[in-house]
Structure 1
Amino acid sequence: MTSTTTYVPYDPDLERPKPDEDTYIDKIVDSLRGNNERAYRKTKRGLRDAHAKSHGILRGTLEVHDDLDDELAQGLFAHGGRRFDIITRLSSTSGAIRSDQMRGVRGLGIKVLGVEGERALPEDTATTQDFIMVTHRDFLFADAEAYYKRGMPTAWALARLSDPALKIGSELLAGVDKCLLRPIGRPLPESLAVFVRPNTHILGDTFYSSAPLRYGEYVARMAFVPSSPEVRALAGVRVADGTGVNAFQDMVVDFFSCHSAEYELRVQLCASSDRRWIEDATFDWPEEVSPHRTVATVRFDQQDPYTPERRAYGDDVLSFNSWRGLDAHRPLGSINRLKRKVYDASSQFRHQVNNAPMSEPGCPGDLPE
Structure 2
Amino acid sequence: MTDLVAPHATEQAYLRYRDDLEHPRPDEEGDIDKIITVLRSNLEKAYRTYKHGLRDAHAKSHGILRGELTVHANLPSELAQGLFAAPATYPVIARLSSTSGVIRSDQLRGVRGLGIKVIGVDGPRILPDDSASTQDFIMVTHREFLFADAHAYLTRGMPTAWVLARLPDTVLKTGSTVLSALDAHVLRRIGRPVPPNLGVFIRPNTHILGETFYSSAPLRYGDHVAKILYTPVSPEVSALAGVPVGHDAGVNAHQDMIVDFFAEHSAEYELRVQLCTDPETMPIEDATVAWPEADSPHRPVATIRFGRQDPYTPERRAFGDDVLSFNSWRGLESHRPLGSINRLKKRVYEASSNYRHHVNNAPRVEPTADRLPR
TM range (shorter): over 0.9
Is 2:281–2:291's contact at 8 Å kept on the other side of the alignment?
A: no
**SS of match in other structure, 2:171:** helix
- Residues 322-352 of structure 1 deviation map (CA, whole Å, 9 limit, x = unaligned): 1000000000000000001000000000000
Counterpart of 2:266 (choices 254, 257, 260) is: 260
Aligned to 1:12: 19
Is 1:102–1:166's contact at 8 Å kept on the other side of the alignment?
A: yes
Is 1:284 matched with 2:290?
yes
Is 1:213 matched with 2:212?
no
Is 1:279–1:334's contact at 8 Å kept on the other side of the alignment?
A: yes
User: 1:298 & 1:352 partners in 2: Cα distance?
Assistant: 33
- Residues 208-253 of structure 1 deviation map (CA, whole Å, 9 limit, x = unaligned): 0000000000000000010000000000000010110000000000
User: 2:207 & 2:181 partners in 1: Cα distance?
Assistant: 23
Amino acid of the residue matched to residue 122 of structure 1? P
Is 1:127 matched with 2:130?
no
Aligned to 1:361: 367
User: 1:346 & 1:128 partners in 2: Cα distance?
Assistant: 20
Is 1:23 matched with 2:24?
no
TM-score between the two structures when normalised by the length of structure 2: 0.97
Amino acid of the residue matched to residue 251 of structure 2? V
Aligned to 1:301: 307
User: 2:189 & 2:280 partners in 1: Cα distance?
Assistant: 34
1:170, CA displacement in angstroms?
0.6
**SS of match in other structure, 2:283:** helix
- Residues 14-35 of structure 1 deviation map (CA, whole Å, 9 limit, x = unaligned): 1011111111111001110110
User: 2:12 & 2:52 partners in 1: Cα distance?
Assistant: 50
Aligned length: 367
Matches within 5 A, 1:310-325: 310-325=316-331
Matches within 5 A, 1:129-144: 129-144=135-150
Is 1:85–1:113's contact at 8 Å kept on the other side of the alignment?
A: yes
1:268, CA displacement in angstroms?
0.2
Aligned to 2:67: 60
TM-score between the two structures when normalised by the length of structure 1: 0.98
Amino acid of the residue matched to residue 26 of structure 1? D
Matches within 5 A, 1:62-101: 62-80=69-87, 82-101=88-107
1:123, CA displacement in angstroms?
1.4
1:276, CA displacement in angstroms?
5.7
Is 1:47 matched with 2:43?
no
1:362, CA displacement in angstroms?
1.4
1:12, CA displacement in angstroms?
1.2
Aligned to 1:202: 208
Is 2:136–2:326's contact at 8 Å kept on the other side of the alignment?
A: yes
User: 2:44 & 2:172 partners in 1: Cα distance?
Assistant: 22
**SS of match in other structure, 1:277:** coil
User: 1:25 & 1:165 partners in 2: Cα distance?
Assistant: 30
Amino acid of the residue matched to residue 29 of structure 2? D
User: 2:118 & 2:139 partners in 1: Cα distance?
Assistant: 14
Is 1:113 matched with 2:111?
no
Q: Tell me which stretches of 4 or more aligned residues in structure 1 moved more than 4 Å.
A: none
**SS of match in other structure, 1:191:** helix
**SS of match in other structure, 2:90:** strand
Is 1:14–1:275's contact at 8 Å kept on the other side of the alignment?
A: no
Is 1:226–1:262's contact at 8 Å kept on the other side of the alignment?
A: yes
Is 1:231 matched with 2:237?
yes
Amino acid of the residue matched to residue 293 of structure 1? R
User: 2:281 & 2:163 partners in 1: Cα distance?
Assistant: 32
1:39, CA displacement in angstroms?
0.5
Is 1:110–1:131's contact at 8 Å kept on the other side of the alignment?
A: yes
User: 1:161 & 1:126 partners in 2: Cα distance?
Assistant: 39
Amino acid of the residue matched to residue 22 of structure 1? E
User: 1:174 & 1:273 partners in 2: Cα distance?
Assistant: 35
Is 1:274 matched with 2:286?
no
Matches within 5 A, 1:322-337: 322-337=328-343
Is 1:36 matched with 2:46?
no
Counterpart of 2:255 (choices 245, 249, 255) is: 249
Is 1:16–1:275's contact at 8 Å kept on the other side of the alignment?
A: no
Is 2:276–2:282's contact at 8 Å kept on the other side of the alignment?
A: no
- Residues 29-58 of structure 1 deviation map (CA, whole Å, 9 limit, x = unaligned): 111011001110111100000000000000
**SS of match in other structure, 1:41:** helix
Two-structure CA RMSD over aligned residues (Å): 1.0
1:273, CA displacement in angstroms?
2.4
Amino acid of the residue matched to residue 30 of structure 1? T
